[in-house]
Amino acid sequence: MINWPVLVLNQNYEPLNICRVRRAIVLVYEGKAEMLEDGTGFIHSIDREISLPSVIRLSYIIKRPRPKRRLTRLEIFNRDRYTCQYCGKKTQQLTLDHVIPRYRGGEQTWENVVSACIPCNRRKAGQTPKEACMSLINSPHPPQDRLPFYIPLSLKAQAQWQKYLPQ
């Protein structure tokens, strides 16, 4: 129970982070945050019963710079919604594919890297999609959303979080 995820919101209700219940209880106890949603369960101390938080809001605003999205595997998979861009198969067993192969001068950019399932990546090999008689479902592009917050696939978004998350 101590390691369950808790959604942390900025003072303006913008999602900031996901922390663990233990850290959230400390923030609430020290007056640095307030509990907005109760989780399921309680922690018992010597003299009180503390409900487990599910969503907390900081009592002060955190100003942070909006970082430019870095080109990583996870960012590519999130942009493509864990879908192969050649056959449309939705899976977690994906690889990265360069539309124009690197040995032919293709660069490591948002416009040249897509997610592909293993069979499609093998079929395409070191060719361009046109040479391999394959077409892209969506043309690759930099991510459009400005919010740098997303929930990793390993964590399941709780129902109580939905009203605080961007759609």
pLDDT digits (tens, 9 = 90+) for 78-90: 899 999 999 999 9
* Residue 36 binned pLDDT confidence (cut-offs 50, 70, 90): very high
pTM to 2 decimal places: 0.53
Beta-ladder partners of 15: 9
What is the DSSP secondary structure assignment for residue 15, as one 8-state letter? E
Q: Please, what are the domains in the chain?
A: 1-61 (no CATH), 73-124 (1.10.30.50)
pLDDT digits (tens, 9 = 90+) for 2-23: 788 899 999 998 888 889 999 9
Burial 100-134 (b: 16+ CB within 10 A, else e): ebeeeeeeeebebbbbbbeebbeebeeeebeeeeb
Cβ(15)–Cβ(36) below 8 Å: no
